[in-house]
Amino acid sequence: MRVLISGASGLIGSALTRELRAAGHETVALVRRTAGPGEVQWDPRQFLDPAKLGGSDAIVHLAGKNVAGVWTPEFKRQILESRVRGTLTVAGAAAESYGKTGRPRVFVCASGMSYYGDRGDEILTEDSSPGPGFLADVVRQWEAATAAARDAGLRVVSLRIGVVLSRNGGALKPMLPSFRLGLGGRIGSGKQWWSWIALDDVVGAIRFAAENDVLQGPVNTVGPAPVRNTEFVRILGRHLHRPAILPLPEFVIRNLMGEMGRELLLTSARVLPAKLNTAGYKFRYTSLPDALAAAFR
C-alpha cells in the first residue's frame, strides 16, 4: 500500500510513518519545503496537482496548527484556517485524482473529540450531537471540508482523536515537568472526563481505518475506558512515583489561560469508541496504567 501523509513530521505522523514502513508499506510525505525523495511539495492555500496523488492508495491528512497558545482572534483564525483550508486543498485534489484514476480510494482525515464540547457525564458516541465552543465549531468545519472527496466516491473517515498519550508530545508532555517535581494534581474540580488514547492506538486506528472498508464518516479515536481528571492525575503521579496532591484551581486556569484553558483543560467529554469497537478494532492498551507505561517506554 502506498500512503500519502500530510503532517508526517508531527507526533502522530512520524509514528505512523515508522509503523507503515516497518510493515512494508510505502509512505510519501506532503511537505511545504522543497520536496526530497519520498516527498511531495504542497501549499495548503494553493491548488494541489492531483497527478501528485494518483499513485497513492490512501491519504492520511494530519496537518494543522497546534491549538496551544494565546487565543487571540488572529491565533484562532490560524487554527481554523490551517485545518479547513488544508483539508479543502487535499480533498479537492483527491476527488479529481479519484475521478481520473480511481486512486486514492480512501481519505483518512484527522479531527477532534472537541466536536462534542463540554458535556459533563453524558456518554458520547459518533451519533451524539455537536456541542458548544470554539473548538467544536472548528471540528464541524474541518469535517465538512472533506465533502469533495466524499462526493467524488472516496471512502472518507474523520478521526475524532482524544487526549493522546506520549512523552514526546500531545497532552502529556507539558504536564510532566510539574508532576516530576511533585507539583502535579487535579485540574479544576477534577470531575471532568478525559478520553485518552495511547499513541500506538492512534496509529493502529489510522491503519485500521485505511484498510477496513466498513469504516466511514466520524470515528471516535479514543481508548475504551475514559477516566475523570482526578483519576488521570492520580495514576500519572503513581507511575512517576510522585504525589499528585497540588490542585490547579479553575479560577487560575480561567484567569491565566482564558478560553484556551477552559476548552482544553476544563471541558468534560466522556467519549466512547463505538464504531471502532463495532468494526472489531483490537486496542493495544485498554487501561490507563498500561497506556502510560507504554508512553514512557
Q: Summarize the confidence of residues 14-28 as an average pLDDT.
A: 97
Residues 124-157 have pLDDT tens digits of 999 999 999 999 999 999 999 999 999 999 999 9
What was the pLDDT predicted at 38? 87
Residue 244 near residue 184 (C-beta atoms within 8 A): yes
Please report, for residues 44, 105, 157, the alpha-carbon distance to residue 100 in angstroms, rounded to integers and kept in the order given. Answer: 22, 12, 21
The pTM score is 0.96
Q: What pLDDT is stored for residue 20 in this prediction? A: 97
List pLDDT tens digits, range 67-83: 999 999 999 999 999 99
Here the CATH number for the domain that contains residue 8 is 3.40.50.720
Domains: count for the chain: 1
Task: Give the relative orientation of helices 288-296 and 229-240 as an angle to the nearest 10 degrees.
Answer: 40
pLDDT greater than 90 at residue 54: no
pLDDT in tens, 34-45: 989 989 999 999
Q: What is the pLDDT of residue 111?
A: 98
Give the pairing type, strands 106-112 and 155-161. Answer: parallel
- Tell me the β-bridge partners of 161: 112, 221
Mean pLDDT of the 281-291 span: 97
Is it the case that residue 171 has pLDDT exceeding 90?
A: no
Which pLDDT does position 287 carry in this prediction? 97
- What own/partner pairs with CB < 8 Å and gap ≥ 24 does 288-292 have? 288/196, 288/223, 288/225, 288/227, 288/231, 288/232, 288/235, 289/235, 289/238, 289/239, 291/165, 291/196, 291/197, 291/198, 291/201, 291/223, 292/165, 292/235, 292/236, 292/239
**pLDDT tens-digit map of 198-232:** 999 999 999 999 999 999 999 999 999 999 999 99
C-alpha cell at 143: 469535517
Q: 152 lies in which domain range?
A: 2-296
User: What are the start-end ranges of the H helices in the chain?
Assistant: 11-22, 73-101, 134-144, 147-152, 176-180, 199-211, 229-240, 250-261, 274-279, 288-296
Provide the pLDDT confidence category of residue 297 given band limits of 50, 70 and 90.
confident
Question: How confident is the prediction for the chain on average, in pLDDT?
Answer: 96
* pLDDT above 80: residue 90: yes
Pairing of strands 227-228, 193-194: antiparallel
**Cα 87–39–84 angle (5° rounding)?**
10
Give the mean pLDDT of 283-293: 97
Burial of 10 (0-12, 13-18, 19+ CB in 10 A): middle
Residue 36 CB coordination number (10 Å): 9
